Each structure stands twice: as C-alpha cells, then as structure tokens.
Amino acid sequence: MGPRTDPSALRWLIGAELGRYRRESPMTLAELAARTGIGKPKLSHMETGRYQQFPDDIASVLRACGAEQEAVDRLTALATRSDAKTWWAPWAAVMPDWFKTYVGLEGLADSAFVFESMVIPGLLQTEEYAQALTLGTGFVRPDHAERFVSFRQARARRLTDDEPLTLHAVIGEAALRLRVNGDETRRAQLTHLVDMSELPNVTVQVLRPEDGPHSATPLGKFVLLGFAHVRPIAYTEVLDGAVYVQDPDGVRTYSMVADNLRQVALSPTESRALIRELAGAS
C-alpha cells in the first residue's frame, strides 16, 4: 500500500493550493469570480475544501491566476481521486476532529520531517509505549485507549508499506529517557527505535542539551509534510487543536529550522549508538 486515501484531506490540499495561486496572482475572491464566472461563495468553498472541487472549475481558477499548464494538470488530476474511501474511517470515533485533517494529510504525504522534544514520535512507537502514553496523558477516554493505540499502529505501518513514507525524525534526548510504564517498556521502545532507524526510508537523529542552542528551542513539536503534487505544509499542535502553515514564507521558515536541527543533532550513526546505549542501561 502506498499513500492512503482521504477525500477530505485531499480537498483541503487542493483548496490550499488554489488559495495560494489566487493570493500570488494577486486577486480577491470577487475579482476571481468576475474573471471565471464562478460565484464567490463557491470559490470560497473551493479554497476551504468544504466541498468537492471539480476539474473544470480548478482549471478555470488556475488559468485565471496565470498558473502554468503543469500546475493545471497536476491539480485537476488530484481532483479525480477525491471520491475514494477514507483509510482512517474505522477509528474516526477515537480521534478529535482537529487531528483527522492531519492524519489524512500524513497518509497522502510522500515525506515527513518530525521534531519531537519530549516523546517518541507516534509513527515510531511500540504498541506498549503507545498504550502507556495514551493512558498517561488523559487526552483519550480510557475505554477508547485500546482503539486509539490500534489506530496509531495502523499509522506506523505506513513506514513499511510497499511505497513507504520517507521519515526524518529529530528527537530530544529527554524523550529517550522519559519513563513510560517502567524501564522494560522504555527499553523495548528504544530497541524498536533502533530497528526502525535502520530502514532505508527512516532517519533518526538525537538532539542532546550539550549539543547547544538551536532554532527549535521554543517549539515542542512540529512536522513538515512533503507531497508529490502539491507544495509542502508545516504543522504544529496546541493543547486542543492544531496550526497548519501553508504560506510559502512560513513553510520556508520551518524548513530552515529543520535544516538547523539536522546540523545540530547527532549524526544518524551517533544517534543509533546513543539509543542502543540507553536501551541497555538499567
């Protein structure tokens, strides 16, 4: 299985691209409506991804915005995939609404850069670690915890699919030392992290306090998602929601932070050695 389908996330991506092209043109919705003959409310819905965008309408909008034919072709082709089933539907009841968009986007992505300062990233967690972390945080109802963990494990299988996600994770050393359900669970998690880091599509780096300051110091977590047919986006979480960064300048800033983290953190080989050392510690 390659990238996973999600019509709502796909509409969101298409809408984000349409909005970017309009703003870069630059035009207001009213000006675009006058040029295309598409009503302003419909254009607004196309940009938010609230309803399905049709290829002919997408092509009209992009041409009015001066987009090249290549952009027209790739976005209209994406629109033909927006009637597929949502892969995460069996777990919809255990996810907060704000997280569903991210899960859909992650399933459509070709690559991801993840920075986590305090916990092991979800895609790299063992079942036992995920279970203990889920129960410990209190954000998921106890009777939903098992289902939520099975959902997280389904997400993680994207790393070993036939067309796997390319993942680069920078993890704070504190996450490796976090006591989650005792030392046995922690050691098993670290051993699993080493195994995953040896996959050709997975890179893991550890960021230690002694490595010095870095540009992600104010951040606890962020993700950069890369796609084959649309421009990348950045994502970060707050306590009860998420922030998506679509503006090219904003995404570029997060990309610069990611580059800085790669430079400051231990190399993948050094990181693997440290994780193995901590996994063997009592």
Q: How confident is the model at residue 51 (pLDDT cuts 50, 70, 90)?
A: confident
Please classify residue 109 by burial: count the beta carbons closer than 10 Å to its beta carbon, then call 0-12 exposed, 13-18 middle and 19+ buried.
Answer: buried
Q: How many Å apart are CA 244 and CA 232, to the nearest integer?
A: 11
Confidence category of residue 282, pLDDT binned at 50, 70, 90: very low
Of 79 and 30, more confident: 30
| Average pLDDT score over the chain | 87
Q: Does residue 1 surpass a pLDDT of 50?
A: no
Query: Mean of the pLDDT values across residues 106-119?
Result: 93
pTM (2 decimals)? 0.80
Q: Alpha-carbon dihedral of residues 116, 118, 124, 128, nearest 10 degrees? A: -160
Q: Which domains does the chain have, with CATH numbers?
A: 7-79 (1.10.260.40), 89-280 (3.30.870)
- CA 77 to CA 251: how far, in whole Å? 24
Cα-Cα-Cα-Cα dihedral of 184, 189, 193, 195, to 10°? 60
Is residue 158 within 8 A of residue 88, CB to CB? The reply is no
Task: Return the H-helix or E-strand segment holding 204.
Answer: strand 202-207
